[in-house]
Amino acid sequence: MATANEPPTQSSDDENPGPLERWTVGVVNDPDKRSRLYRALFYVACGFFLVTTLFPFYWLLVLALTPNAAILSGDWEVTLPIVGTELPFPTPQGFNVSAFVEVFQQVPFHLYVFNSFVLATVTTVIVIVLASLAGYVFGRLEFPGRGLLMLAVLAISYFPPAAFLIPLFDAFLGNAVVVPFLGIELFAPPRLVNTPGSMIMPFSALFLPLAIFILTTFYSQIPDGLEDAARVEGTTRLGALFRVIMPLSAPGVATAAVLTFIAVYNEYFFSSIMALQNEPNQWSPLVGGILSYQTQYTTDFNLMAAASIVGVLPMLILVVVAQEKIVSGLTEGALKE
């Protein structure tokens, strides 16, 4: 950067400062240079994030458009000359748009997407309703043991999900729940494997703590007067929660909902086990659908890539829509009370 017009304020014992030192002094003393440096750093950081997040999508697109045979045998040695070195920069080896149609022909991919969508929607609704109740209690009521309970929720949220898997699978198969060591049968649960219940229940439990924490913070910030006003005007505490507190906490509710929805939509670990076979009618999710292009002998990389893109689209739309809501909610919140 500019080193020419450096102010001559340096102490005289530093006879010949090096270029780096001169530049540093310039940045420290000259607001112009400083803002130029900040802008440069900003672009570098932005560029880094854009490349790391967008390149995988580009790579998916490249793979989806390249016929499968070309993927396996193709020439991926394309490079992009950048300042002296050459960066590998793959481009599509062909233009096979039909992969996006084939995705639905080979397996009923839309059913897998539907499964994930239903699981995510139902889980989100359950999580938001339950976390709202919990968030209201933790955020707005004073009662003995509140801190302890909150801590318990936090502690449980740190348990690895895998720890719950085997007992849950055992129970969802319809086996009787037995008290350990005593051998006393408590009850025989219904056989839930291959049904949405076996997935929605553990998902809801797993994603509740995060939603509770988000909503607790938001609900606790709504002025007491508004809730009191609603209650005097004719709502119950619950009515005040859903009619006043929740709408005013829209950004928080949207954040919790989007996080839960995306997490469940992407989920594979639980659902791959609770759906006994990778079949859409056994409520196998999206990721299961993508994996079903892989058989014992063949792997259709181009279809897997195309399916991934198709699967991401609903998410993309949702996030864009929700983001608008979140942003509008935030600016509205800033203007009021």
Partner 1 sequence: MARVTLEHVTKRYEDIVAVDDMNLEIEDGEFVCLVGPSGCGKSTTMETIAGLTKPTEGTVRIGDADVTTLPPKDRGVSMVFQNIALFPHMDVYDNISFGLRLRDYDKEEIDRRVDRAADIVQLEGMLDREPNELSGGQQQRVAIARAIVREPAVFLMDEPLANLDAKLRVHMRTELQRLHKQLDTTIIYVTHDQAEAMTMSDRIAVINDGRLQQIAPPLTCYNEPANLFVAGFIGSPSMNFVNGDLANDGLRTDHYDLEFDPAAFPLEGIDEVTAGIRPEDIYLERNTESVVDPSATIEATTDVLEPMGDEIFVYLSLDGSSAEMMTSDEASTASNQLLMSVDPDETIEADQQVSIVLDRSKVHLFDAASGEAITHGVADESVHEAPTADAEGGATEVESGGQRD
Give 230 or 290: the residue with its C-beta nearer to partner 1. Answer: 230
Q: Which of these, 133, 317, 113, 283, lies nearest to 203 by C-alpha position?
A: 283
Q: Is 160 in the site for partner 1 (CB under 8 A)?
A: no
Q: Write phi, then psi, for 144 (nearest 5 degrees).
A: -65, 140
Q: Which is nearer to partner 1, 82 or 232 (CB)?
A: 232
Q: What angle do CA 137, 142, 147 make, to 5 degrees?
A: 80
Min dist CB 92 to partner 1, Å, is: 49
User: CB under 8 Å to 165, separation ≥6 — which residues?
Assistant: 269, 270, 273
Q: Which is nearer to partner 1, 186 or 232 (CB)?
A: 232
The answer to the question of residue 235 lying near partner 1 (CB under 8 A) is yes
SS3 309: helix
* Dist. CA 114–CA 119, nearest whole Å: 8
Does the footprint of partner 1 cover residue 221 (CB under 8 A)? Answer: no
How many residues touch partner 1 (CB under 8 A)?
20
The span from the CA of 267 to the CA of 275, in Å, is: 12
316: helix, coil or strand? helix
Q: Which of residues 245-284 bind partner 1 (CB under 8 A)?
A: 247-248
CB of 140 to partner 1, least distance (A): 13
36 touching partner 1, by CB under 8 A: no
Selection from 334, 313, 304 nearest residue 107 by Cα: 304
Pick from 125, 226, 259, 312 the residue near partner 1 by CB under 8 A.
226
Instruction: Determine whether 139 is exposed, middle or buried from the number of CB atoms within 10 Å of its CB (0-12, 13-18, 19+).
Output: buried
Closest listed residue to residue 315, CA positions, set 264, 250, 256, 253 = 264
- Which residues, in sequence order, are bridge partners of residue 86? 81
Of 47, 56, 190, 239, which one interacts with partner 1 (CB under 8 A)? 239
For partner 1, the closer CB: 174 or 247? 247
Of 171-179, 188-196, 219-227, 317-325, which segment contacts partner 1 by CB under 8 A? Answer: 219-227
| Interface with partner 1 in residues 296-335 (CB under 8 A) | 332, 335
Q: Measured from the CB of residue 235, what is the shortest distance to partner 1 in angstroms?
A: 6
Hey, what are 158's tokens? 């740190």
244 binds partner 1 (CB under 8 A): yes
Q: How far is the CB of 240 from partner 1 (least distance, A)?
A: 10
Contacting residues toward partner 1, per CB under 8 A: 223, 225-226, 228-236, 239, 244, 247-248, 332, 335-337
